[in-house]
């Protein structure tokens, strides 16, 4: 008896200190966005508020991270679409000299040089950072421990969107002032231009663009960075063997987390079965494919994404249609499935403990249902197929113990969902025999 009291007391303490919310699920919403003919536009998208603005990519050549603590510099590397006169910038490190070779830099042998592109997975590794070695070497420049500036030591050749070439030197990032000094010129030395670009006016954005054709900064993010979650765009994808290919897909904003699950049932909601991915392209471009038999694009079925925004809200994202380059139309379905992130304290609580876990014969639930007088139990495998389903009457505002027999359920990983009305919570349960 004392042992039972001790266990119950420990569970009670656990419930009091580690309350977890049931997801406040909403109805699915279908949304349609257009990136335009040839995917000419980038669309900044909020899971909560939809389309936050579409911007034509044919404006900038390089983009500088607006943060004082970042050395990232991107190229507009995958804007390519010759049919509508849209080309991406091509960046090469000049292989025969550092900045001391400014006067004599040319494009002799450029066909053998390695094209430098932005990282597929990390916003902080732009094309100009491709050869970084780690602090204090950030690729285009070296950190100065005295001034805290980044001092450029690399010479670049860049092919611009209009097909012309420039030699380019990122001279210095003045960290305290948040300004970046650039120098660029035509290959014959004409048009030699030095400019100091201030990042401070764009401090609420991730990046500011710069046009080496017009010599002007470009504000290409239509809203502040905290207002969008994912970006529908073109980017250069790097295959594992190093092959580069421009793709149309989705990039995640800083601080956005994503989980991807394949071959799952339509009702699948197990967003916490794997660690969420906060890299640049966990959604990516492979949610669609070209069907050569029908000459149409198709979306991959049984594919689900879960997107967690900065506020901790989690949305289920499923693609429903893709029209290709004729209109750039993308149809998606989204559903808010949790109003509080994993391990966050919510405003509406139902307390629960699950033991033993792993289990072999029975799973015990100790829970306080709050004001509810009943609970529904649903256990599914990771593909969404039901393994156990039941309903129990429980006492309000009190600890209840519910025993679930699992001896006839095959060994594996399952999702145990407890729900009452709109309140729901899912826990992972492992069954071993």
Give the Cα separation of 16 and 102 in Å (integer): 67
**Is the same domain home to 63 and 208?**
yes
**Is the same domain home to 355 and 323?**
no
Mean pLDDT of 258-275: 86
Residue-wise pLDDT tens digits, 299-317: 999 999 999 998 889 999 9
Q: Residue 376: pLDDT band by 50, 70, 90 thresholds?
A: confident
User: What's the number of domains the chain is made of?
Assistant: 3
**Is the same domain home to 207 and 234?**
no
Question: Three-state DSSP class for 302?
Answer: coil
Question: Three-state DSSP class for 321?
Answer: strand
Above 90 in pLDDT, residue 199?
Answer: yes
Would you state the pLDDT for residue 340? 57
Query: Is 52 within a domain?
Result: no
Query: Residues in the chain, how many?
Result: 433
Query: Is 278 within a domain?
Result: yes
Above 70 in pLDDT, residue 273?
Answer: yes
**Is the same domain home to 164 and 138?**
yes
Token pair of 104 as six digits: 């004599």
Query: Is 343 within a domain?
Result: no
Query: Is 65 within a domain?
Result: yes
Q: Residue 79: pLDDT band by 50, 70, 90 thresholds?
A: low
**Is the same domain home to 325 and 377?**
no
Would you state the pLDDT for residue 87? 63
Residue-wise pLDDT tens digits, 323-352: 999 999 999 999 998 875 444 433 344 567
Question: Three-state DSSP class for 309?
Answer: coil
Last residue of one domain, picked from the residues 201, 218, 235: 218
Token pair of 248 as six digits: 């149309």
Q: Residue 80: pLDDT band by 50, 70, 90 thresholds?
A: low
**Is the same domain home to 325 and 212?**
no
**Is the same domain home to 418 and 320?**
no
Lowest mean pLDDT: which of 8-22, 88-102, 247-261, 415-429?
8-22
Mean pLDDT of 45-50: 96
Mean pLDDT of 226-243: 93
Give the Cα separation of 210 and 198 in Å (integer): 11
Last residue of one domain, picked from the residues 310, 333, 356: 333
**Is the same domain home to 99 and 133?**
yes
Structure pTM? 0.77
Would you state the pLDDT for residue 309? 92
* Integer CA distances (angstroms), 415 to 380, 381, 388, in order: 5, 6, 10
Average predicted confidence (pLDDT) for the chain = 87
Structural domain span for residue 265: 29-44+227-333
Would you state the pLDDT for residue 86? 46
360-395: burial string, b at 16+ Cβ within 10 Å, e else = eeebebbbbbeebeebebbbbbbebeebbeeebebe
Query: Is 50 within a domain?
Result: no
**Is the same domain home to 287 and 315?**
yes
**Is the same domain home to 322 and 363?**
no
Query: Is 85 within a domain?
Result: yes
What is the distance of C-alpha 100 from the center of its chain?
39
Query: In sequence order, what are the beta bridge partners of 152?
Result: 141
Mean pLDDT of 250-267: 93
- Residue 36 CB coordination number (10 Å): 19
Query: Is 71 within a domain?
Result: yes
Mean pLDDT of 218-228: 95
Looking up residue 426, the CATH number of its domain turns out to be: 2.60.40.3080
* Cβ-based neighbours of 108, under 8 Å, separated by 6 or more: none
Above 70 in pLDDT, residue 274?
Answer: yes
Selected residue with higher pLDDT from 383 and 281: 281
**Is the same domain home to 262 and 361?**
no
Query: Is 154 within a domain?
Result: yes
Last residue of one domain, picked from the residues 301, 333, 365: 333
**Is the same domain home to 325 and 420?**
no
């Amino acid at each position: 008896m004392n042992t039972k009291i001790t266990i119950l007391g420990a569970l009670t303490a656990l419930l009091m200190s580690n309350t977890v919310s049931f997801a406040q699920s909403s109805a699915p919403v279908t949304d349609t966005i257009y990136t335009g003919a040839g995917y000419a536009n980038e669309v900044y998208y909020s899971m909560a508020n939809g389309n936050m603005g579409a911007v034509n990519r044919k404006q900038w050549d390089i983009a500088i991270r607006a943060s004082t603590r970042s050395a990232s510099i991107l190229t507009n590397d995958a804007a390519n679409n010759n049919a509508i006169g849209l080309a991406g910038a091509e960046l090469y490190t000049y292989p025969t000299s550092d900045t001391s070779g400014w006067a004599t830099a040319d494009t002799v042998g450029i066909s053998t040089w390695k094209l430098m592109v932005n990282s597929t997975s990390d916003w902080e590794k732009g094309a100009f950072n491709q050869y970084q070695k780690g602090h204090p070497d950030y690729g285009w420049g070296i950190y100065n421990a005295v001034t805290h500036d980044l001092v450029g030591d690399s010479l670049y050749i860049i092919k611009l969107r209009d097909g012309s070439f420039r030699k380019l030197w990122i001279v210095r990032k003045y960290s305290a002032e948040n300004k970046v000094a650039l120098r660029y010129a035509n290959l014959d030395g004409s048009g030699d231009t030095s400019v100091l670009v201030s990042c401070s006016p764009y401090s609420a954005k991730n990046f500011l663009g710069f046009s080496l054709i017009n010599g002007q900064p470009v504000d290409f993010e239509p809203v502040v960075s905290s207002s969008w979650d994912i970006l529908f765009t073109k980017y250069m994808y790097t295959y594992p063997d190093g092959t580069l290919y421009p793709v149309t897909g989705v990039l995640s904003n800083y601080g956005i987390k994503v989980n991807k699950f394949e071959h799952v049932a339509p009702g699948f909601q197990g967003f916490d079965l794997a660690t969420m991915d906060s890299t640049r392209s966990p959604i990516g471009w492979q949610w669609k494919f070209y069907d050569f038999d029908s000459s149409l694009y198709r979306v991959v079925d049984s594919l689900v994404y879960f997107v967690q925004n900065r506020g901790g809200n989690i949305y289920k994202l499923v693609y429903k249609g893709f029209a290709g380059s004729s209109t750039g139309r993308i149809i998606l379905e989204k559903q808010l499935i949790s109003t509080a992130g994993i391990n966050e304290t919510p405003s509406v609580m139902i307390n629960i403990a699950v033991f033993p876990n792993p289990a072999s014969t029975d799973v015990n639930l100790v829970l306080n249902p709050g004001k509810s007088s009943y609970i529904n139990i649903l256990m599914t495998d990771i593909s969404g197929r039901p393994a156990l389903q039941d309903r129990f009457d429980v006492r309000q505002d009190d600890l209840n113990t519910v025993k679930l027999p699992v001896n006839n359920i095959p060994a594996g990983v399952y999702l145990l969902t407890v729900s009452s009305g709109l309140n729901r919570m899912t826990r992972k349960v492992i069954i071993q025999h």
